[in-house]
Amino acid sequence: AQSVTQLDSHVSVSEGTPVLLRCNYSSSYSPSLFWYVQHPNKGLQLLLKYTSAATLVKGINGFEAEFKKSETSFHLTKPSAHMSDAAEYFCVVSETNDYKLSFGAGTTVTVRA
């Protein structure tokens, strides 16, 4: 069975400083991992995904994530936060033999001016 734990329910950063959102996963098989972003009252948008290619994955809007199998982690980072990054972020896993997505509980990011 697959599952995802987002270690921080809320992250607050100042504009221009780095953002780190932590995600650990549990998977019986080779997982596919995703980060989605949800802006207030909007649908979900894919930021990036890992599917057993390069372990460092670059996404949209300057985000990237690193797949670390030994640590079962897929943390999301951005070097410099922008006000428009304020949103809810979801770490998501699916297994090789299962196309269902399992969502983490989400991390709310606030960006201070």
Partner 1 sequence: DTAVSQTPKYLVTQMGNDKSIKCEQNLGHDTMYWYKQDSKKFLKIMFSYNNKELIINETVPNRFSPKSPDKAHLNLHINSLELGDSAVYFCASSPLAGAGETQYFGPGTRLLVL
Is the CB of 15 or the CB of 101 nearer to partner 1? 101
Taking the complex as a whole, how short is the minimal distance between the CB of residue 38 and partner 1, in angstroms? Answer: 8
Q: Residues in the site for partner 1, rule: CB under 8 A?
A: 32, 34, 36, 38, 41-46, 49, 51, 88, 90, 94-101, 103, 105-106
Please report, for residues 23, 38, 59, 61, 73, the alpha-carbon distance to residue 42 in angstroms, rounded to integers and kept in the order given.
Answer: 22, 6, 19, 17, 27
Is the CB of 34 or the CB of 63 nearer to partner 1? 34
**Residue with structure tokens 């994955």?**
57
State how far the Cα of 91 lies from the Cα of 11, in Å rounded to an integer.
14
Is the CB of 86 or the CB of 103 nearer to partner 1? 103
Taking the complex as a whole, how short is the minimal distance between the CB of residue 70 and partner 1, in angstroms? Answer: 21
Taking the complex as a whole, how short is the minimal distance between the CB of residue 16 and partner 1, in angstroms? Answer: 27
Taking the complex as a whole, how short is the minimal distance between the CB of residue 59 and partner 1, in angstroms? Answer: 12
Residue of 45, 20, 25 whose CA lies nearest to 35 = 45
**Residue with structure tokens 């770490």?**
91
Is the CB of 15 or the CB of 59 nearer to partner 1? 59
State how far the Cα of 13 lies from the Cα of 16, in Å rounded to an integer.
8
